[in-house]
Structure 1
Amino acid sequence: MPPRRKRAPVNDSFSQHVALVTGAGSGIGRAVSQALAARGAAVVVSDINGEAADAVVAEITAAGGTASAIVTDATDPAALTAAVAHAVDTHGKLTLAVNNAGIGGPTGLAADIPVEGWQRVIDLNLSAVFYGVHAQIPAMLAAGGGSIVNISSILGLVGEATAVPYTAAKHGVTGLTKAIAAGYAAQGIRANSVHPGYIETPLIEKAPKDFLIAKHPIGRLGTAEEVAAVVLFLLSDEASFVTGSQYGVDGAYTAI
């Protein structure tokens, strides 16, 4: 029996690009990585869980795409520098980045949040995004330009009384993205933030689903693939005049 033929990418709109996706072992990062590879990009699948990253690479290559995995602790600046170096050394350059790694963290009113819980959320949900772009931008400049999408949240646009560190970190991502966009627009680098509502991912698997659904006028939770579709638009040449913007993918959560 002849070997099974690999499926070719759906189209090649990203065939000249190399992308780095953090937190890519599951959820939104996994969906973004798969969608980019299906459109011809070479994708660096970065995650703290090496087995999860390898599994996503296996899925991509089985479908005919190009990808490699690297284990990355996104709270470590040196690890993110190494991830960028891996992209350049393995695939020749870096032109796209999606900074997606994050956690939910402790909940409660501000005075009830443990300081160590605050620090952990800020480290991963905000500082790690800065560490990422700090390493990614020089490589993109060397490649002639690029596009960055930072995954924020609906709580990067509105507040939530019992999600204090998460809300603060995600608002920080929103502001950081605007500053990057303003600072590098003339040098060919675009930066935008995406703000998902509650999405069916492992991050909320233990959360009360009916309660969360009720927060969305659309009447359901979102999917990782729906978020990935917006991310890919922002990374693409179709969004060539879009930079410094905030895109909600939230089923009207922030509309009320």
Structure 2
Amino acid sequence: MFGSSFELKGRIAVVLGGPEGVAAAVSRLLAERGARVAVVGADESSLADLVDELRWNGSEAVGIVTTGLEHADAAAMDAVRLSVMGELGAPELLFVLPCPQGTGGWQRTVDSGLTATFLALQAFVPAMAESGTGAVVTLAPVGTDPATNAVGGGVTALTQHYARLFALCGVRANVVSWTPRESTVDDAAHAALYLASDAAARMTATTLDVAGTLMRL
């Protein structure tokens, strides 16, 4: 019974964050559980490779190329939503998983993490609310630089705001707090899957802190 609550057969999922890291791990987990997956990123070649892998394993998957995440482009984000609708239909699951690490300066880090998350929520969540169902998972990075930590705190607050705003419309929104480490990518991905699944059907405005205090040492 508990295992069945992790099954996502036929559900349409959007994964924003590119074809690597947590976003790629989440895409694979979703595909394994029968979801129809739209993977969104800027690297067309790597995106095609991931989509081919998912399809080879029997999953329905599409890749949508955009620079909207990196450049905080509202029009590009809306175009992504329309592409998903055209390719797969109305999404029920939304994963916003960009992971800036403070390597591009303050503005670029904030744009590619916090502003991109805001634009994704703005583009997708109202439609989920209209349909009366949906689950959103965001990724809040914890780093050693001010910009990354500002993004993490902002993403957490923003996600909680949307959780409260749309709670009565059947949409849940939760956060995975994570320090970007290759060794814990799968941990973050499994946490994201759990929060989106029926196993967490009564959870919203919650933050799962992957790796606990270790991430802050």
- Normalized per residue, the structure richer in helix is 2
Quote how far apart the aligned CAs of 1:255 are: 7.8
Q: Which residue of 1 aligns with 2:174?
A: 192
Of 28, 37, 48, the match for 2:22: 28
Q: Which residue of 2 aligns with 1:226?
A: 187
Of 68, 77, 81, the match for 1:80: 77
Where 2:175 maps in the other structure, the secondary structure is strand
Return the TM-score normalized by structure 1. 0.77
Amino acid at match of 1:58: D
- Provide the C-alpha distance between the structure 2 equivalents of 1:251 and 1:174, rounded to a whole number of angstroms: 16
| Cα 1:67/1:122, change in 2 over 3 Å | same
Residues 112-169 of structure 1, C-alpha deviations (whole Å, 9 max, x = no match): xxxx8211111111000000000011221243310000101235xxxx4xx0111111
Q: Which has the higher contact order (CA 8 A, sep 6+)?
A: 2
- Provide the C-alpha distance between the structure 2 equivalents of 1:79 and 1:253, rounded to a whole number of angstroms: 37
Quote how far apart the aligned CAs of 1:253 are: 1.8
- Provide the C-alpha distance between the structure 2 equivalents of 1:139 and 1:11, rounded to a whole number of angstroms: 24
Residues 198-223 of structure 1, C-alpha deviations (whole Å, 9 max, x = no match): 421xxxxxxxxxxxxxxxxxxxx42x
Residues 82-137 of structure 1, C-alpha deviations (whole Å, 9 max, x = no match): 1111111111211111111232124xxxxxxxxx8211111111000000000011
For structure 1, which runs of at least 5 residues remain unmatched after alignment?
Answer: 1-9, 107-115, 201-220
**Runs of 4+ with deviation above 6 angstroms:** none
Residues 26-71 of structure 1, C-alpha deviations (whole Å, 9 max, x = no match): 0110000011011011110100111111111001000011100011
Q: Does 1:140 align with 2:132?
A: no
Q: Which has the larger radius of gyration?
A: 1
| Cα 1:255/1:26, change in 2 over 3 Å | closer
- Provide the C-alpha distance between the structure 2 equivalents of 1:145 and 1:72, rounded to a whole number of angstroms: 26
Quote how far apart the aligned CAs of 1:251 are: 5.0
Where 2:40 maps in the other structure, the secondary structure is strand
- Provide the C-alpha distance between the structure 2 equivalents of 1:94 and 1:43, rounded to a whole number of angstroms: 9
Q: Does 1:65 align with 2:59?
A: yes
- What percent of counterpart residues are identical? 31
Q: Which residue of 1 aligns with 2:211?
A: 250
- Provide the C-alpha distance between the structure 2 equivalents of 1:36 and 1:101, rounded to a whole number of angstroms: 17
Q: Which residue of 1 aligns with 2:150?
A: 168
For structure 2, which runs of at least 5 residues remain unmatched after alignment?
Answer: none
Return the TM-score normalized by structure 2. 0.90
| Cα 1:251/1:133, change in 2 over 3 Å | same
The more displaced of 55-64 and 75-84 is: 75-84
CA contact (8 A) 1:12 1:40 kept: no
Of 92, 95, 106, the match for 1:95: 92
RMSD, aligned α-carbons: 2.0
Q: How many residues align?
A: 211
